């Protein structure tokens, strides 16, 4: 091949993309039991950690645009997981909070990370490798987000 840099095996983006898709696939059986999608799970993680938070803050934490997050939140509201309320101080801001159903889902969801980690640790990776990979990816995300 004339351009070695164009080989799929020489790309950083492809293993990151493939790993992301395959990890999401691993989550799917757990999320199916909860009745939510992976993006909805990410929103729930933010809300379980921070409680009531604005749409803009959710978008910032998930490194998404608000026009991506808003339809997701509307769907979650129709599912009875969250409420959306305009701020009394600033009507441009929408505060997102968990409903009782959303809060109750947390105990079942808390089992997911451990189950997934067990699968990785009993398979190809050691715990320290997983931690190191996560740290490296966080540095990469930080660098790319700051651009």
- Per-residue pLDDT tens over the stretch 21-61: 999 999 999 999 999 999 999 999 999 999 899 999 999 99
Q: Which residues of 25-34 are buried (b: 16+ CB within 10 A; e: fewer)?
A: eebeebbeee
Reduce the secondary structure of 49-113 to three states and give it as a string: HHCCEEHHHHHHHHCCCHHHHHHHHHHHHHCCCEEEEECCCCCCCEEEEECHHHHHHHHHHCCHH
CA separation (Å) from 77 to 10, 32, 70, 111, 129?
43, 18, 10, 24, 38
Q: What is the pLDDT of residues 51-109, one digit of tens each?
A: 899 999 999 999 999 999 999 999 999 999 999 998 778 778 999 999 999 999 999 99
Whole-model pTM: value is: 0.91
């Amino acid at each position: 091949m004339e351009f070695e840099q164009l080989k799929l095996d020489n790309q950083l983006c492809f293993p990151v993309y493939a790993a992301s898709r395959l990890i999401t696939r691993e989550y799917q059986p757990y999320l199916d039991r909860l009745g939510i999608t992976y993006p909805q799970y990410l929103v729930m993680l933010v809300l379980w950690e921070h409680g009531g938070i604005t749409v803009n803050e959710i978008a910032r934490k998930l490194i998404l645009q608000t026009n991506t997050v808003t339809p997701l939140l509307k769907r979650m509201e129709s599912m009875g997981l969250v409420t959306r309320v305009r701020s009394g101080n600033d009507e441009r801001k929408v505060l997102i909070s968990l409903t009782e159903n959303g809060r109750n889902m947390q105990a079942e969801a808390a089992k997911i990370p451990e189950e997934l980690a067990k699968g990785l640790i009993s398979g190809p990776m050691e715990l320290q490798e997983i931690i190191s990979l996560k740290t490296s990816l966080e540095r990469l995300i930080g660098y790319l987000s700051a651009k």
